[in-house]
Amino acid sequence: MQNTETIKMVETYVRDHWFKMAMIIMVIILFMKKDLSVSLRLNNPNKMEEQLAPPPEHQEKTPIANKPANFSEKRGVVKAGATTMMDLLPSISLTENGKSKKEEWANLSEELSLKYIKRFAKVAVNERKKYGIPASIIIANALLHSACGTRDMAKAGNNHFALPCTSNWKGDSGTYDDACYRHYPNAWTSFRDHSLYLTTGSTAYLVNLGNKDYKAWAKEMEKVAIFEIDGLADKLISIIEYYSLYELDE
């Protein structure tokens, strides 16, 4: 008899308070999921770091990366019929490990160049927002100095800008043609160091050029002579206009 009365009391309570009970259960479930997520992140800090600074190949594409047709629509204004980066930049004479850079550039197809641009477009846009460097300059400089990521220092050390070791460099490094170059754990770190390299120290004034005037940036970067390629300004401007990279600065 007592059990029957207890059951009836429980049924009555549930019927009168079912909404509150449902809300309590939902809150408990949400807290459990949150705790599980925090636990997973604490147990896998590398994964958390990847989420904060995702590898470029996993980042969202920008509008310019989603519309590859835009790249080809305006290319004729620079050099009609160009099919490789060697066609666009015929005066490159840089060498690496005894191999002419002309040979390497001649093997770079336009398809490879476009893939490289799409891969790092979002990274460049984010760096522009944070440091005030035109995204077009960032992409063009990376593409030029890394040969679309195919240079040895880019493949072995994620150095996409041929940034050399300096007296205050404490990170890893590698030697190429008897010169020391910085090594990075991933490509994203290389792009971030490039931003710091341009906007601190003796070149900090570059940010006063604004984040859209790629021609002014290219000319000033050549003047300060911190990069190893001769005729840097013309080459950067050619790449930017050939691939309409200025769209990333809008």
**Measuring CA to CA, how many Å separate 172 from each of 116, 117, 130, 195?**
24, 26, 25, 18
Residue 126 CB neighbours (<10 A): 19
Per-domain boundaries in the chain = 2-50, 56-249
Per residue in 58-99, pLDDT (tens digit) is 333 333 334 333 444 444 333 434 445 555 554 444 445 545
Q: Tell me the Cα Rg of the chain.
A: 26
Beta bridge partners, 179, equal 176
**What's the CATH class of domain 56-249?**
mainly alpha
pLDDT in tens, 158-213: 999 999 999 999 999 999 988 999 999 999 999 999 999 999 999 999 999 999 99
Cβ-based neighbours of 134, under 8 Å, separated by 6 or more: 128, 211, 212, 213, 214, 217, 246, 248, 249
